[in-house]
Chain A
Amino acid sequence: MINVVADVGLLCLLLTVALAIVCTRSPLSLVLLSGIYSIALCTLFVILDAVDVAFTEAAVGAGISAILFFAVIRPEDEPVTAFSWPSSRAILLGLGVGVLLLAGTLDMPMYGDHLAPAHQHLALRFLGQSFEEIGIPNVVTSVLASYRGYDTLGEVVVIFTAGVAVLILQPDNKKGPAKPGDRDRFAPELMGNPVLKTVLLRMIPLVVLFGLYVQFHGDYGPGGGFQAGVILGAGVITYGLLSSATRLKRIISDKWVTLGMALGVLVYGLVGVAGLFLGANFLDYSVLGPTQTAGQHLGILLIELGVGLTVSCTMVSLYYCFKQGES
């Protein structure tokens, strides 16, 4: 009963937010509404027992997306009419795609069907044997980091590549002196506000501590390198929002951030190659320690470290890129 009420209620909320997003024209309201959408979606993931997915949604939705969106929108883009229906062609296209997607779900197994193919093939083996083979309670981490280590390596490389692509696209550093119309350069720092300074400077260590907890507790509960990287990045960027990107760069220079992005991928790859030299397959951690589970523990710890390093450095690097040319 609780499940049904929570499911239906949250889906109704999601539909309401989606309709509001469709009708809103102001970029600022869109960012805030998509934040609400992300939170409602995260709650839905919790109800579906997908806690690791919920954790990622929470970290990205609450921690980083608003920072990046607010870095790129401008007040000049605010429209005169904040609220209007989309054009009839857009509505038709949306409805058409929606009907096609609904038709696509007709072939899928019912929600909660234990005979669904996804629950028959490998899932039984993972659920039954992962604790003996890998030795950690969170099956999601076992699958993500060990059984499917190749896929996760691919994901880390994708994040690294995306970060590099943004770095390539960023404008030239040497833009010359500030123009008088460039009001961003002359905005007072938020650090001057005693409330923000007192509260948020004490929040940063807590956020970083929580990020480290998520990083190293991923074997036992929801979380892992991806989520921890985003949380750590958000903690660091908080200081940049409070003072300025330039002040943050004096503490963590952009060269180190770029180096960290590459270093994380390197750590991941080297752990895989270490397995090769010890006489096993690429990314087989069993040979890294005295026993199979000890080796798996060490391997998963190291590759999660690499993932966390790459993700957190990519987040900070994205922030630097979007703040290029500002005070």
Chain B
Amino acid sequence: METVYLIVLGLLLIAGLLSIWRAGIGPTRFDRILAVNTFTSKSILFISVYLFATGHPEYLDIALLYALVNYVTSLALVNYLNRNPVSAND
């Protein structure tokens, strides 16, 4: 069972690295916001898998919090873009 957890954690880390790459190079700001969202989802999964693997599922509140307030960053960005309109390919 531990091998399964290890493989899943490793794959999630690679997925996180790929989304950091996307957030870093862009090129458009919509790529970046999607990358942040992807990274947050991967972190929620990472925290959950890690907590179950080490036997502390009572701390899932943290993953729950991310799942719940994940929208705030996107909403703040949408609000910013709404106030400062840009061309579609920026």
Q: Which residues of A contact B (CB under 8 A)?
A: 1-3, 5-6, 9-10, 12-13, 16-17, 20, 23-24, 28-29, 32-33, 35-36, 39-40, 42-43, 46-47, 51, 54-55, 58-59, 62-64, 66-67, 69-71, 73-75, 82-83, 183-184, 187-188, 190, 196, 199-200, 203, 206-207, 210, 214, 221-223, 231, 234, 238, 241-242, 326
Contact = CB atoms under 8 A, between A and B. Distances in A.
Interface string B57-90: 0110110111011111101111110111010000
Contact of B76 (A1, A10, A66): A66
B82 to A, nearest CB: 5
Given A13-B13, A206-B68, 18 more contacts: A6-B9, A12-B13, A20-B23, A24-B24, A36-B19, A36-B36, A42-B43, A46-B59, A54-B62, A62-B72, A66-B76, A70-B79, A71-B76, A183-B83, A210-B65, A222-B59, A222-B62, A241-B75
Contact of A32 (B2, B65, B73, B83): B73
B72 A43 contact: no
Given A1-B2, A62-B65, A62-B66, A67 B59 contact: no
Dominant SS among interface residues on chain A: helix
6 tightest Cβ-Cβ pairs between the two chains A and B: A9-B13, A20-B24, A66-B73, A70-B76, A70-B80, A75-B84
Nearest to A326: B83
Contacts of A75: 84, 86
B72 A67 contact: yes
B36 A32 contact: yes
Contacts of B19: 36
Nearest to A65: B73
Contact of B54 (A2, A29, A67, A241): A2
Nearest to B54: A2
A296 B64 CA distance: 29
A62 B67 CA distance: 10
A151 B72 CA distance: 31
Contact of B72 (A6, A54, A183, A234): A234
Interface of B: 2, 5-6, 9-10, 13, 16-17, 19-20, 23-26, 29, 32-33, 35-36, 39-40, 43, 46-47, 50-51, 53-54, 58-59, 61-62, 64-66, 68-73, 75-80, 82-84, 86
A259 B6 CA distance: 51
A55 B20 contact: no
A75 to B, nearest CB: 4
A52 B69 CA distance: 17
A188 B29 CA distance: 21
A20 B20 CA distance: 9
Contacts of A36: 19-20, 23, 35-36, 39
A187 B10 contact: no
B73 A221 contact: no
Contacts of A64: 72
Contact of B65 (A12, A59, A241): A59
Interface SS of B by simple majority: helix
A51 B62 CA distance: 8
Nearest to A189: B82
B9 A46 contact: no
29 contacts: A2-B9, A2-B53, A6-B9, A6-B13, A6-B50, A12-B13, A12-B17, A16-B17, A20-B20, A28-B32, A28-B77, A29-B23, A40-B16, A42-B43, A46-B51, A58-B62, A58-B69, A59-B69, A66-B77, A71-B76, A75-B86, A190-B78, A190-B82, A196-B78, A207-B69, A210-B65, A214-B65, A234-B69, A238-B75
A92 to B, nearest CB: 23
A207 B82 CA distance: 24
Given A9-B9, A55-B65, A43 B43 contact: yes
Contacts of B64: 210
